[in-house]
Chain A
Amino acid sequence: MSLSYYPGCTLKTKAKNAEDSAIAAMAALGIELVELPRWNCCGTVYSFAGDEELHQLAPVRNLIRVKETGGDRVATICSFCYNTLKRANLLVTSNPEKMHTINTFMEEEIDYEGDVEVVHLLEVLRDDIGWETIAEKVQVPLTGLKVAPYYGCTLLRPQEIAIDDVERPTIMHDLLKALGADVVDFPYATECCGSYQIISNPDYVSQRVWDILSSAMRRKADAIVLSCPLCDANLGQTQKELMQTHSEFKGIPILYFTQLLALALGLDPEICRLELNYVDPRPLLESKELLRQ
């Protein structure tokens, strides 16, 4: 089975570790992720304004690209891309007038008619494959690895596009349990890391990140697992500074769920591009004997 896949800008640069591990892991599960031809930036952040149809062009154009391939479904890995594409899709499907305005303005060969479904890779794992099937395919169970799933904002909010329960999601918990990991629950799992404020208020983001990391560590997590490349950068890059301001803090690795999926499926650890993670997870994974060749 093949599935149209929208990578977005960050997965092609800073988050190659997410993309490479996802493609390999999905192939091992029998799903070929086929990159969408001629994709463009999704717009990154969804515009909340009622009078900004212009900002919906970028995501809707990507949905037309999906139609051009003959498909009716597109998967994302980046949480921001998921949110923006999904919300733009919801806006135009629930508002024919706006859809008409956007179609008229774009002058694409085919119109968008709300006929593409946007899904996140975690949903594909849950709904198309299923936790039991994944558990059966695990070659290297993540036994003894204490991981705290961190969902952030854009997979869960607003409610209309949430991939799981808004306040009490379990989708990433369920995946990690299927992979044999020891899943740690912590109260900051759905709290914002400060997001794009990293460009204007990095100190406030550091405070947020410290609250999140220290909470997970109080629950004895060895690592934090996530899907969002912006959360990853905030939670990872801020740690150097936090080690200076909090002398007892020695750092905690942040991993993409796709990396742990690939490892557990017994794929070559090279494909996980662990060297690209902001905090090197290899010593931790080696100590748990999870980096088998």
Chain B
Amino acid sequence: MRIEISTETLYSDFVKKVEAISEQTLISCYQCGKCSAGCPMCFAMDLLPSQIIRLAQLGLEDDIAKANTIWICASCITCSVRCPKGVDLARVMEALRLITSRKNIDQVQIPEIPKETIAQLPQVAMVGGFRKLTA
């Protein structure tokens, strides 16, 4: 993957915002790939979790937004417990989701969910999903 880096994105508000919401220091990540190796959902992601944090370090917000990764993450926290650098990547993923969700953009259109699905799913699935995937 070819990316363009610049001091403009590197020192952007985006990086500060991600670090403030996640309470993580992005540059701590040294790209070992342990998070991606253990991610149970990475088979469905177009960019791996380790690639997302690299893009976040560089402030490349648009490249992160183009990838489905943060919306496929199931918040299982496997990446965070295995990170040798102590980066809580689940929190970084959450911060990246919130930056979009706080603009009132939903990933799940609740009124479009079929009635049968609502009747079938347990509350824990719906409330959990709505909280992670909607504004």
Contacts and interface: CB of A to CB of B under 8 A. Distances in A.
Interface of A: 8-10, 13-15, 41, 43-45, 47-51, 55, 78, 80, 153, 157-159, 166-167, 191-192, 194-201, 204, 207-208, 229-230, 232-234, 237
B124 interface: yes
Nearest to B133: A200
B40 A49 contact: no
A44 B90 contact: no
B81 interface: yes
A237 to B, nearest CB: 7
Contacts of B21: 49-51
B129 A196 contact: yes
Interface string B80-96: 11000000101101110
A204 B80 contact: no
B65 interface: no
Interface string B121-135: 111111111111100
A78 B122 CA distance: 12
A194 B74 CA distance: 6
Contact of B122 (A13, A45, A159, A200): A13
14 contacts: A8-B124, A13-B123, A48-B93, A158-B77, A192-B41, A196-B129, A199-B113, A199-B125, A199-B129, A199-B133, A201-B44, A201-B72, A230-B128, A233-B122
- Secondary structure class of chain A's binding surface, majority of residues: loop
A44 B126 CA distance: 9
B77 A153 contact: yes
Nearest to A46: B75
Given A15-B122, A50-B21, A157-B78, 18 more contacts: A44-B123, A45-B131, A48-B91, A50-B22, A50-B91, A80-B124, A153-B78, A157-B76, A191-B76, A192-B41, A194-B41, A195-B76, A199-B108, A199-B121, A199-B125, A200-B129, A204-B43, A204-B72
A200 B107 contact: yes
Given A45-B131, A49-B94, A192-B76, A200 B71 contact: yes
B105 interface: no
B120 interface: yes
B44 to A, nearest CB: 5
B131 to A, nearest CB: 5
Q: Which of A80, A166, A199, A207 has the most CB of B within 10 A?
A: A199
Nearest to B40: A192
B40 to A, nearest CB: 4
B43 A233 contact: no
B23 interface: yes
Contacts of A232: 122
B124 A230 contact: yes
Looking at A80, A159, A192, the one whose CB has the most chain B CB atoms below 10 A away is A192
Contacts of A195: 74-76, 125, 128
Q: Which of B41, B95, B108 has the most CB of A within 10 A?
A: B41
B86 to A, nearest CB: 11
Given A9-B123, A158-B81, A237-B120, A191 B133 contact: no
Given A45-B132, A49-B95, A78-B124, A197 B41 contact: yes
A49 B128 contact: no
B100 to A, nearest CB: 13
